[in-house]
Structure 1
């Protein structure tokens, strides 16, 4: 899916991280376990998507409705840290029929 708007996605991530920083509760140097969610589209291949994400170190869970949750630890709570994982996982998911549905983390 070459028409995905990565620039918009990265801008939303930057805005979210800015809001987190403004709340002032977390040190920017903190590392988190990043949780990403992907929704299935037509022809989505859950098995292939889960296998590819797992090969890059993500812990993957496929929900009954087909949604995929992927988590990876040791991610710096910075734009570079989050975006590196978000972009990689998005590329993997898009080529297997999934679209990103956001990310989050449990506060350390």
Structure 2
């Protein structure tokens, strides 16, 4: 299966625009970005967690197999979020996981 990175990036752009338009996005803010990944039939949780940790993500593997990955000091811009989202997605897809969204605590 080929992943649609362009669609994923566009969804991220729309989400950030909505946050900016609502006034909930501080210009220049840096956040701890939280990403979630759901297992597929070929999921290898240990390999995915190890690879994510190699790139500086803090990782939790949940009982249902979902992986939560967090990384700090991410600029709350399309470029900042997308850099982390794309990297983590590639790592996860290669190890049997699919992205399920991202979020952050208010800065």
TM range (shorter): over 0.9
**Structure 2: how far apart are the matches of 1:94 and 1:103?**
16
Alignment RMSD: 0.7
* Aligned equivalent of 1:85: 84
Partner of 1:42: 41
SS in 1 for 2:80: helix
- Aligned residue for 1:27, secondary structure, equals coil
User: Could you say which residue in structure 1 is the equivalent of 2:21?
Assistant: 22
SS at match of 1:75: strand
Give the distance between the partners of 1:14 and 1:88, measured in 2 at CA: 16
For residues 45-56 of structure 1, the aligned pairs below 5 Å read 45-56=44-55
Q: What SS does structure 1 have at the residue aligned with 2:106? A: coil
- How far did residue 8 of structure 1 move? 0.1
TM-score, length-scaled by structure 2? 0.98
Displacement of 1:68 in angstroms is: 0.1
Quote how far apart the aligned CAs of 1:26 are. Answer: 2.5
How many residue pairs end up in the alignment?
107
Q: CA deviation at 1:27?
A: 1.5
Q: Could you tell me which runs of 5 or more consecutive residues in structure 2 were left unpaired when the two chains were aligned.
A: none
Query: Alpha-carbon deviations, 1:21-73, whole Å to 9, x = none?
Result: 01112212000000000000012000000000000000000000000000000
Q: Give the secondary structure class of the aligned counterpart of 1:26.
A: coil
